[in-house]
A and B are shown apart, each in its own frame.
Chain A
Amino acid sequence: MGSSETEYSERKERGRVWEVFRRLSKRVTALIGLVIVLLFLISALIAPLLAPHDPYEHSLAHKLAKPSWDYPLGRDELGRCILSRIIYGARISLLIGLIVISIGIFVGVPVGVVSAYYGGKVDFIVQRFVDTMLAFPGILLALLLIAMLGVGLHNVMIAVGISTIPIYARLARSSVLAIKSRQFVEAARSIGASHLRIILQHLIPNSLSPIIVQSTLHMATAILWAAGLGFLGLGVSPPTAEWGAMLNGGRLYIRVAYHVATFPGLMIFITVLGFNLLGDGLRDALDPRLKT
């Protein structure tokens, strides 16, 4: 009985993930988003296998060369393969996105959960602090932090990450407030479960859906911000392939060689679009009111 029981529960657990995927795949836009995101993830993970050339190998003789069979997206101002640089650039974008969201979730969610669970004065003080952070435009906060911490990829990630914390804190708080008054939380209390157990076992798992959706959408924002900061020269240091920095490099030659700035720009556009479509689709697929 024992092993068949756990097997059964695992099958059910997988069934729920499958169910979400099934609902997701019913929407064409969400599916397009999913495909774009998967392509992005694949190119980031196996960049060395996909890239036709070394992204750092330059050849001034061929600078700003037009797209050709050998170099499908052409070469940049230093004669480097733009396609390879875009593929490698996906790694930086993915890294930035993941770190930024991790900072946001791992700091913001506990703050929001504790704030909502304990309520009262704790909640009031924490939320006024969150209000103050939310009042800053995110990019301004990021710029401020970079000014304090210095230019560089790590600092960009930390800065953008910190500026997302209040959003996750507010989101987690509102989900927990809605769940806190449900009877199963009272049931857990009546059983004698500790605060920690109630938070970890009951509150957090039940408030995860909006956070998953938000983090997908945030992935897009983080990539955009990182590119924006890269464009301003506040992100990665020069030779590194990063979409924002590539855009900035190509900006000067836009009249003579459109492809240098256009393709990285398109990549940013498509990736951000992909994450947004997926996020929208997930929001609908995870909505418990749509459960059939």
Chain B
Amino acid sequence: MVNDILIEAKDLSVYFPVTKGIIRQRRIAEIKAVDAVSFFIRRGETLGLVGESGCGKTTLGRTLMQLIRPSSGEVFFEGENLCRLKEDELRPIRQRMQIIFQDPFDSLDPRMSAGEIVAEPLRVHQKIKGKRLREQVGELFKVVGLDPAMSGRYPHQFSGGQRQRLGIARAIAIRPKFIVCDEPISALDVSIQAQIINLLEDLQTEFNLTYLFIAHDLSVVRHISHRVAVMYLGKIVEIADRDALYRSAKHPYTIALLSAVPIPDPYVESTRERIILKGEPPSPMALPPGCNFHPRCPIGVEVCQREIPLLREVEENHWVACHLV
């Protein structure tokens, strides 16, 4: 069971300093983008990560990749503590973990041809050139459903879905084990979204990939994930197997999120109960004391304003951070 875990975060925190002043920069506050988060992902599994904009889910994905260095805490990838490694030492490990970006327009270098973009990781890590490189790039194009004859085109000549396929081809080029999918479909048309999801699923089976799938769309996450984690203001508030979470969510925030998912049946839709949260999430610069969620919580009690709830296992594999569960 222990060996089954591919990547694990322990007490991971990312604080961004807010500074003031030109020459002597004084720290006036901190943004707690990710605050003492712990979780693990098993080999071959997809962990869905959901939460509203600005809750730190993208930062968490970047921190697992060590693209952002954490302020404290550890990331273990195949037993190795990545946070201890220097940038040079991380480079070989980057072969085994990759990222697919949200914005397929910004994540491809506009001055490089599609073939060059996909070839870059192969050039960096495997030092192959010439004919062999071209063959491999052509192969990757086919795997993600692109015509290898298009490899001479530039990113602006592709559609959004095709660009995202290029991003995927680049990510799988060096056969990684773990891929962070950072809202890979939220910039795409609905009709294209399903194609990309199917592609990601096919690739997972074919190459035995492990995903961290970040999204703000619960129905997509439900489709692709084995387990789901819900984030609110830098903390994971609930993490459980997919079916358990969707069937019996425990945390009031998760319940509210799930109640916002429309049901494609007008009768059920008109009679079901929706929980509408009051107000905006507080600024991550000035978090409330106690539970982050208490100012908006529909069932909050006095203890929530004083004590920070810890993530507890309330059922098997179902963890919740709430005093009232």
Contact = CB atoms under 8 A, between A and B. Distances in A.
B148 A192 contact: no
A183 B67 contact: no
Interface stretch (B75-83, B102-110, B192-200): B102-110
B131 A192 contact: no
Contacts of A291: 156
Contacts of B98: 190-191
A12 B109 contact: no
Interface range for A: 20 to 34
B101 A187 contact: yes
B95 interface: yes
Given A8-B152, A190-B67, A191-B124, A206 B111 contact: yes
Interface in A1-46: 1-2, 4-6, 8-9, 11-12, 16
Nearest to A185: B109
B115 A187 contact: no
Given A186-B67, A206-B109, A192 B99 contact: no
B158 to A, nearest CB: 13
A191 B121 contact: yes
Nearest to B107: A183
Nearest to B106: A183
B283 to A, nearest CB: 22
Contact of A2 (B101, B109, B131): B131
B94 interface: yes
Contacts of B148: 1, 5
B92 A192 contact: yes
Contacts of B153: 12
B124 A5 contact: no
B120 A193 contact: yes
A62 interface: no
Nearest to B154: A12
B305 interface: no
Interface string B152-193: 111010000000000100100010000000000000000000
Contacts, number: 89
Given A12-B153, A192-B124, A5 B115 contact: yes
Contact of B91 (A2, A183, A192): A192
Contact of B124 (A9, A16, A183, A197): A197
A206 B110 contact: yes
Contacts of B94: 190-192
Contacts of A186: 62, 67, 101, 107
Contacts of B111: 205-206
B65 interface: yes
Most buried by A among B67, B107, B109, B154: B109
A129 interface: no
Most buried by B among A5, A186, A190, A193: A190
A75 to B, nearest CB: 52
Given A183-B107, A186-B67, A191 B170 contact: yes
Contact of B115 (A4, A9, A184): A9
Given A9-B113, A206-B111, A188 B120 contact: yes
Nearest to A208: B111
A182 B113 CA distance: 17
B134 interface: yes
B151 A5 contact: yes
13 contacts: A5-B134, A8-B152, A9-B113, A12-B153, A184-B107, A184-B108, A190-B98, A191-B98, A191-B124, A192-B92, A192-B95, A205-B109, A291-B156
Given A184-B110, A191-B124, 4 more contacts: A6-B152, A190-B67, A191-B125, A206-B109
Interface of B: 62, 65, 67, 90-92, 94-95, 98-99, 101, 103, 106-113, 115, 120-121, 124-125, 131, 134-135, 138, 148-149, 151-154, 156, 167, 170, 174
Interface of A: 1-2, 4-6, 8-9, 11-12, 16, 182-184, 186-194, 197, 201-202, 205-206, 288, 291
Top 3 closest pairs, chain A to chain B, by CB: A9-B152, A192-B94, A8-B152
